[in-house]
A and B are shown apart, each in its own frame.
Chain A
Amino acid sequence: MLGYAVRRLLWAIPTLIFVSFIAFVIIQLPPGDFVTAYAAQLRSGGEYITELQEELMRQQYGLNDPILVQYWRWISNIIFYGDFGRSLEWNAPVSDLIWDRLGLTLAISTLSMIFTWMIAIPVGVYSATRQYSVFDYVFTVFGFLGKGIPDFLLALVLMWMTFVWLNMDVGGLVSPEFQGKPWDFDKFVNMLSHIWIPLVVLATGGAAGLIRVMRANMLDELRKPYVETAYAQGFSERTVVWRYPVRVALNPFISTVGWALPALFSGDVITAVVLNLPTTGPLLLQALKMQDMYLAGSFILILSVFTVIGTVLSDILLALSDPRIRFS
């Protein structure tokens, strides 16, 4: 088991290197560089620097070096010093800006993943054991709708509905009157009245697909002889279903945790923009629009790293739950 885990972890290293390289390329993609952007920023403020100064700055920052050298400087600063570069727009180190936002993104993604599972597993099991019942059809329709409705549209519609019917503005993480105040019970309750929308939005998208997966897996398992044997031994339906086929049917679930993460992060980014949540989404969008590339690149890098870690974790979890994988 340990050997498998170690091998899996080692495999993640080339992926991580590749991911970081892609993030760096994205930073470099737009025409111009840091100095051009900086000069433009100064010009808009009424100051200017000469071309010689620009050239000196380029040399100072090493922007004339080959791309691999620059990449190494960037990544080694991150790894050894935790220095992600400076955000042009905010004029502050990137690491000061991103961590609490990333934390909230991670919290919302994890919560909605748990929420997704809480919906998808029981519903999938129910749909499979009561195939072609009324509720099976209802859940099927729900599944298709959940897949078809874009996250941001669902967020918009939910926000609009709560506004029209409950007369509540649920945008943001807390209502404006609580903004910037220290956390207390009232603020927490207020946050609960806001946080459910992103959770519902993200969970419906994910649950829609997982219900189908769970149902299909369960249907496969339920037809196998061991299930019949268990029934023949006189166990109740509940015991048979939950003790045996569900455990096997959960395998693909665990292995898709890793893929659920990128989907959740993507969903979170775009939902947060609509709902104006203080997560990575709005800041990333802003950074990309302003070509604040160190900030944007760091976001993309860290989100991708989270995803790679998630995939590794889910693979190890899978090996823990299914001995066949460990030994093959």
Chain B
Amino acid sequence: MTDLQKLSPTFHTPRVPPLAPKEEFRDESLYTAKPWTLVWWRFRKHKLAVVSLIFMIILSTLAIFAHFFTPYAPFTINRLNTFAPPSTVRILHDGELHRPFVYPMKRTRDPETARVIYEEDTSKPLPIQFFVQGEAYRFFGLVETRLRLFGIDDRRQQINLLGTDSLGRDLYSRLIHGARVTLSAGLVGVAFAFVLGLTLGAISGYYGGRIDSAIQRLMEFIRSIPTIPLWMGLAAALPIAWDPIFVYVLITLILSLIGWTHLARVVRGRFLSLKTEDYVLAARLAGASEYRIVTRHMLPAMTSYIIAALTLAVPEMILGETALSFLGLGLRPPVVSWGVLLQDAQNLRSISMAPWLLAPGMAVVLVVLAFNFIGDGLRDAADPYGQ
């Protein structure tokens, strides 16, 4: 609708019978809309889910192009910038509007406790430059480039949006690079769980009988083991000397060994209810093979449910990875994940000295909430013909 139409209701009334309810147009498009359009319309109504989806898209973009969006490499150590507090981005200098800038930090020591203190030197603003030449990196391992989205043009000073850690590494850069590992661990774990859950859930729901009760017992059994101790036990069995990437895959496997039960339950429930539908019977009478009935007739009817269940399973994986790495049993440095970053915030002393070290925890909470909201929205939208 253009602005003109919005402003003058008379503009479009002639084309519609005056008494016809407005709903009718929507109704008509409702009849002809494809299932996924309907799902999307339903999903759109869940405002929090939409906001979360946008948040996740932004975060994933940041993570995928991590090198470009961060001012420093995740491993660059700066000994003269340890435990620096987050720099405040300002736009007012001497009461006048200025382009975004930060004040340089002056590093001094407390004369009594010899603790390092940072003070802002408000005399000279350091403007934030965009599309600067920073540290070199390989763009997806292909092209070598130095282009970074933002940075400051000063050899001594740094811009640390979230402060620095005990080695003076920029926490914001590490956080974004860690998002790569943590988010993908969640997704890979869910992919493993998806394969297991779909297969076993489908077998259980489709065949029923003795196989069903055997798989049910297995699921009950897995749910009755305390997860963290079991994860800890399995993770501790991985030798320290193995390649970090391999350990990463194994950790996600361990996480999914437990996570698949929820998914299997959803799939089984759907299979049980779909098995008796008329169109499935019709397909069987028409002589379709079992494989064809399952893949062509039953699975499409539950895709949206499966996607919703998958979305709700991601936060569990992320929380699991974070918890294991936090305890030192999951991923280990030099791999950067949010759990690994949180290891620095393990005791009261470092937190009270540098509260910004909890930022990765904040990120975990936001991502978990976002996935929960998206999953909720998807679950509500999963059956678009429901109402």
Contact with B along A150-172 (1 / 0, CB 8 A): 11110011011001100001010
The answer, yes or no, to whether B66 is at the interface (CB within 8 Å) is no
The answer, yes or no, to whether B236 is at the interface (CB within 8 Å) is yes
Contact with B along A255-294 (1 / 0, CB 8 A): 0001101110111011001100000000011001101000
Contacting pair B329 A289 (CB below 8 A): yes
Size range of the chain A interface in the assembly: 35 or more
Contacting pair A262 B227 (CB below 8 A): yes
A220 to B37: give the CA distance in the assembly, Å.
Answer: 30
By a CB distance below 8 angstroms, the chain A residues around B299 are: none
Residue B225 contacts which of A22, A29, A159, A169 (CB distance < 8 angstroms)? A22
The answer, yes or no, to whether B340 is at the interface (CB within 8 Å) is no
Stretch binding the partner chain, chosen from A48-56, A125-133, A243-251, A302-310 = A302-310
| Chain A CB within 10 Å, residue with most, of B229, B232, B234, B328 | B229
Report the minimal beta-carbon distance from A30 to chain B, rounded to whole angstroms: 5
By a CB distance below 8 angstroms, the chain A residues around B368 are: 147-148, 150
The answer, yes or no, to whether B111 is at the interface (CB within 8 Å) is no
Report the minimal beta-carbon distance from B328 to chain A, rounded to whole angstroms: 7
Contacting pair B329 A288 (CB below 8 A): yes
A153-B364, A171-B348 in contact; A269/B224 too (CB < 8 A)? no
Contact with A along B205-240 (1 / 0, CB 8 A): 000000000000000110111111110111111010
Contacting pair B372 A159 (CB below 8 A): no
By a CB distance below 8 angstroms, the chain A residues around B355 are: 160
Report the minimal beta-carbon distance from B324 to chain A, rounded to whole angstroms: 9
Report the minimal beta-carbon distance from A323 to chain B, rounded to whole angstroms: 23
Interface positions, chain B 216-270, Cβ under 8 Å from A, are 220-221, 223-230, 232-237, 239
By a CB distance below 8 angstroms, the chain A residues around B358 are: 153, 156-157, 160
The answer, yes or no, to whether B80 is at the interface (CB within 8 Å) is no
By a CB distance below 8 angstroms, the chain B residues around A144 are: 369, 372-373
By a CB distance below 8 angstroms, the chain A residues around B361 are: 150, 153, 156-157
The answer, yes or no, to whether A226 is at the interface (CB within 8 Å) is no
By a CB distance below 8 angstroms, the chain A residues around B323 are: 150-152, 270
By a CB distance below 8 angstroms, the chain A residues around B221 are: 15, 18-19
A156-B345, A266-B227 in contact; A285/B369 too (CB < 8 A)? no
A148-B365, A153-B365 in contact; A262/B328 too (CB < 8 A)? no
A19 to B225: give the CA distance in the assembly, Å.
Answer: 8
Report the minimal beta-carbon distance from A290 to chain B, rounded to whole angstroms: 9
The answer, yes or no, to whether A296 is at the interface (CB within 8 Å) is yes
Q: Can you name the residue of chain A whose Cβ is closest to the Cβ of B225?
A: A304
Report the minimal beta-carbon distance from A274 to chain B, rounded to whole angstroms: 7
Report the minimal beta-carbon distance from B247 to chain A, rounded to whole angstroms: 14
A300 to B342: give the CA distance in the assembly, Å.
Answer: 25
A266 to B345: give the CA distance in the assembly, Å.
Answer: 20
Contacting pair A15 B224 (CB below 8 A): yes
Residue A152 contacts which of B220, B230, B326, B352 (CB distance < 8 angstroms)? B326
A285 to B365: give the CA distance in the assembly, Å.
Answer: 24
A148-B368, A153-B365 in contact; A259/B328 too (CB < 8 A)? no
The answer, yes or no, to whether A112 is at the interface (CB within 8 Å) is no
The answer, yes or no, to whether A31 is at the interface (CB within 8 Å) is yes
The answer, yes or no, to whether B322 is at the interface (CB within 8 Å) is yes
The answer, yes or no, to whether A84 is at the interface (CB within 8 Å) is no
Report the minimal beta-carbon distance from A165 to chain B, rounded to whole angstroms: 11
Could you write out 27 A-B pairs with CB less than 8 Å apart? A15-B220, A19-B221, A26-B237, A30-B236, A30-B237, A144-B373, A145-B369, A148-B369, A148-B372, A149-B365, A150-B361, A150-B365, A152-B323, A153-B364, A157-B361, A160-B351, A160-B352, A262-B226, A263-B226, A263-B227, A266-B227, A267-B228, A270-B327, A288-B329, A299-B229, A300-B230, A308-B224
